[in-house]
Amino acid sequence: MQNITPAQLAQWLADGDRSQPTLLDVREDWEVQTCHIAQSKNVPLGDVPARLSELDADAPIVCICHHGMRSARAAMFLEQQGFSQMFNLDGGIDAWARQVDPSMPTY
């Protein structure tokens, strides 16, 4: 697993020549309703093991949570399951809101 900063992820998402990652938001539904990055897929952390078939093990996946702890656990778990391109959003959605999208609500 690699950590990725909000600025690095924003650059990646803006790069039309680069294969886009799956944005796996492992927060609870109520958190995602408060704020989220467009195109993210919400799978609460506790549901990840049962929903592995929804994810491509060979594609880049960026795990996202509130501050980066749950997403790090999810990324490590997925690596243990054979997923090869795992990233953790350093600082989570909170850092994204503060550094990339200041219009995004925080909690």
Homologous superfamily of 2-99: Rhodanese-like domain (3.40.250.10)
- Name the residue among 18, 16, 6, 73 with its Cα closest to residue 43: 73
- The per-residue pLDDT for range 11-38, each reduced to its tens digit, is 999 999 999 999 999 999 999 999 999 9
Give the active site residue among 32, 65, 72, 75.
65
Task: Tell if the pTM clears 0.85, that is, is over it.
Answer: yes
pLDDT digits (tens, 9 = 90+) for 74-86: 999 999 999 999 9
Dist CA 42 CA 29 (whole Å): 7
Average pLDDT value for the chain:
97
Per-domain residue ranges for the chain? 2-99
Question: Is 65 known to be catalytic?
Answer: yes
